Amino acid sequence: MKIAIGNDHAAVEMKMELKKYLEELGHEVVNFGTDTEESCHYPDFGEKVGRAVVAGEADCGVLICGTGVGISIAANKVNGVRAAVCSDTTTAHLVKEHNNANIIALGARIVGIETAKDIVKAYLDAEFMGGRHQTRIDMIHEIEKRN
């Protein structure tokens, strides 16, 4: 699987460790984030990952900032993105199963690296259930069309 990853200055260390972990699992990781701790703006990286996922340049995305919230909000401004902040494995697999989230976001100041690895693995191992959940995804797409 090809995974786009993006981060701001608060999440450089976690990004590097998750990138290595994902590659060890056999995934190709495309880095859209910063590699320095110099202050930068998370919306830039949320948008880059969002656009890459929607364009089909990556199968899904992982975003990381201090809380995961700001970067996910930025990504969700890209039509077609369904980014969800995850702080536990249950949420991670449910956002894929029920919401067909194509990006997950993590907070480097919220979860530790081992929990982050578990969250990413739970998300990647989950499958969209379709059915009534697809109806809701279709409703989300209709909202996007009205914007």
Instruction: Please give the positions annotated as active site.
Output: 65, 98
**Burial zone of 121 (CB within 10 Å; 0-12 exposed, 13-18 middle, 19+ buried):** middle
* CA–CA distance, 68 with 128 (Å, rounded to integer): 22
CA 44/CA 53 separation, integer angstroms: 15
Best CA proximity match to 72, nearest among 44, 107, 80, 63: 63
For residues 99 and 131, is the Cβ–Cβ distance under 8 A? no
